[in-house]
Chains A and B, each alone.
Chain A
Amino acid sequence: MSFVSVRGLDKHFPVRGAGWLSRRNRPAPVVRAVDGISFDIDRGRTLGLVGESGCGKSTVARCVTRLLAPSAGTIRIGDKQLDRLEGEPLRAARRDVQMVFQDPLAALNPRMSVERAVSEPLRLHTTLSPAEQRERVREILTEVGLRTDVMGRYPHELSGGQRQRVNIARALACAPSFVVLDEPTSALDVSLRARVILMLEELRERLGLTYLFISHDLATVKYLAQRVVVMYLGTVVEEADTDELFAHPRHPYTRALLAAVPVPDPKVRGEPFVLSGEIPSPLERHEGCPLRSRCPMASAICAQPVVPREVSPGHVVACHFA
């Protein structure tokens, strides 16, 4: 059985400004940020979740970590049914489910020293004495490649790379089993990015962590993830093992995404596969395939609802032509 299992996850946001004065008998308009997403992650593995801005990947991250309450669907992590928890049990369950945020500076409280920030989860979830907490902070800082003399520093006194290490140390302090990484490298400079990627990989192997890695950077996802889910407008358009997905992308959206990645080699030209227009507003309700309006392959059948199909073992595509 998989370690993490998400089934039929929906997250709808009410549209602002339509509250008081709108007619009562009409259902309130909603944005379907996440619309029926399912995926599984095996223990000790990394699932990459890719898509462009507005596709709902960050909302998925926040639902899975229960920073947002899902509108529908189930989220199981280990033996905990996270979607049903509220209040104190939910707070306690956070010990096992951690998140690393995109902007390493913004994710740290500017008035908390490194030591306080990293020891906070210990204070919240464990009964360790202050001395033991301090010991654990030293241990985890060393684990993420920081020298312990940064303990007294504040976030603005750290370099970009150090900040993200502190965030990772904070997430790992209570030894969680599952970590959601929300674009952890995109705010970092090239040279730091490589180091954080390698460190995340090393930590996963050494500590047996399970990752949900969210990114718009396909190359990084390819490096870190064993399996990849591609999202578009709140839905999953394609899911496959990493090698399979990058070698044989089947969905037009995946193909367009891959074609758009600039390869650092002038001799390698991407497949000239381009979608027209831009991502439509998630407010517009789409019948049939969500990519229909932009897809060069679109035809009449695309107005029909798409049922995801398994085109080869473990490779699922939501396209009429797959």
Chain B
Amino acid sequence: MSALLEVEDLSVEFATDDGMVSAVDGVTLSAKAGEILGIVGESGSGKSVLISAILRLVRPPGRIVSGRLRFEGNDLLALPEAELEAIRGARIALVPQTPRTSLNPLMTVGRQVERLLRLHRGMDKRAAREAAIAMLERVRIPDPKRRAGQYAHELSGGMCQRVMIAMALATEPRLLLADEPTTGLDVSIGARILELLRQLGEESGAAIILVTHDLGVVAQTCHRVAVMHAGQLSELAGVDELFERPLHPYTRALVRSIPRIDQQIALQPIAGAVPSLVNVRSGCRYVRRCPDALAACRRQRPPLIAAANGRRVACHAVEQSNVVR
């Protein structure tokens, strides 16, 4: 099956006072209909910038410097702004990180969903009203009629996030971008939001890109995972393979650096910190933190090589050790 979204060799740079910041560097990945693709990494890994780039919402001083973005056969980077607006918010929707501040505090949440339906689906007032309540019900908000008449401050954080998801889904998008949708929510509430996303993804057949820093969320929610480090894609794999046999040294380090409730592990912190992205030189950006670094890693950026089961990994050490084949 062909991919719904194809990101090819995408790079985003920000011109700052201190120099050029390379926030996303040559990322290639794709998302298929009906799947949840996780993008995981530390802060500064470029995962949120990648999301804005997919929406072509990178604002100056940031700029998409190269690469291709294809969505449903359209070249998003070549599209005029007017046509892009018809796609953005309708065919591609975003679930933001801070639901409460993303809602209009002066309008009931029901009205906000209604307004979207009228705008994007051309419904009349009554139909939109009913559809809005149906949407709230679809995201499992109990007593949706009453909730529709409430304002953001009257709802809990989890409830606000459900409303945001309802708004994102109101236009029946084919691609849903969720940027840390459970950060700031309690674990039990977060677990239910993720469960909801999973169910809605199955129901609607839309692709979901889930950005998170939490490997647990990835393992329990996603089908495929892209691991990012310092703006570069380290590894792309199916979730089972990734956790069973992480290939990239960074992925391995990530997995070992978090305490777990299911087993006793010896915690091993990742060495160093995410490097500065200002005026970076060529080469692998993980090299200073990497225990397996080779001489080549400093000079030359590792290419994204293909491994079994559609895996991709960008690492000289992996390439040389032949574990790929």
Contact = CB atoms under 8 A, between A and B. Distances in A.
Given A264-B255, A267-B240, A216 B269 contact: no
Nearest to B192: A274
B243 A278 contact: no
Contacts of B282: none
Nearest to B240: A266
Given A159-B273, A197-B267, A263-B262, A191 B42 contact: yes
Interface stretch (B76-84, B212-220, B302-310, B316-324): B212-220
Contact of A264 (B158, B191, B260): B260
Nearest to B242: A266
B186 interface: yes
A194 B268 contact: yes
Nearest to B41: A190
A270 B262 CA distance: 9
Interface in A267-286: 267-270, 274-275, 277-279
A261 B187 contact: yes
Interface in B235-289: 239-240, 243, 253-255, 257-262, 267-270, 273-274
Interface string A215-247: 010111011000000000000000000000010
B194 interface: yes
Bin the interface of chain B by size.
Answer: 35 or more
A116 B221 CA distance: 46
Interface residues of A, number: 40
Given A189-B42, A223-B267, A52 B186 contact: yes
Given A219-B261, A275-B188, A278-B158, A261 B216 contact: yes
Contacts of A261: 187, 191, 216, 261
Interface in A252-268: 256-268
A273 B178 CA distance: 25
Contact of B257 (A52, A191, A274): A191
B43 interface: yes
B243 A189 contact: no
B149 interface: no
A44 B194 CA distance: 39
Nearest to B190: A260
Interface string B174-194: 000000000000111111101
Contacts of A222: 259-261
Contacts, number: 118
A301 interface: no
Interface string A185-222: 00001111111011000000000000000001011101
B156 interface: yes
Contacts of B219: 262-266, 268
A195 B216 contact: no
Contacts of A265: 219, 243, 260, 262
Contacts of A266: 219-220, 239-240, 243
B191 A262 contact: yes
30 contacts: A52-B186, A52-B187, A159-B273, A189-B213, A189-B274, A190-B42, A190-B215, A191-B257, A191-B269, A194-B267, A194-B268, A194-B269, A195-B269, A197-B267, A222-B259, A256-B188, A258-B261, A261-B261, A262-B187, A262-B220, A263-B216, A263-B261, A263-B262, A264-B243, A266-B219, A267-B243, A269-B220, A274-B192, A277-B142, A278-B158
Q: Which 5 A-B pairs have the closest CB atoms?
A: A262-B216, A194-B269, A191-B270, A260-B191, A264-B215
Interface of A: 52-53, 159, 161, 189-195, 197-198, 216, 218-220, 222-223, 246, 256-270, 274-275, 277-279
Given A191-B254, A198-B269, 13 more contacts: A191-B269, A192-B269, A194-B258, A194-B268, A218-B187, A262-B217, A262-B219, A263-B220, A264-B218, A264-B255, A264-B258, A268-B262, A278-B189
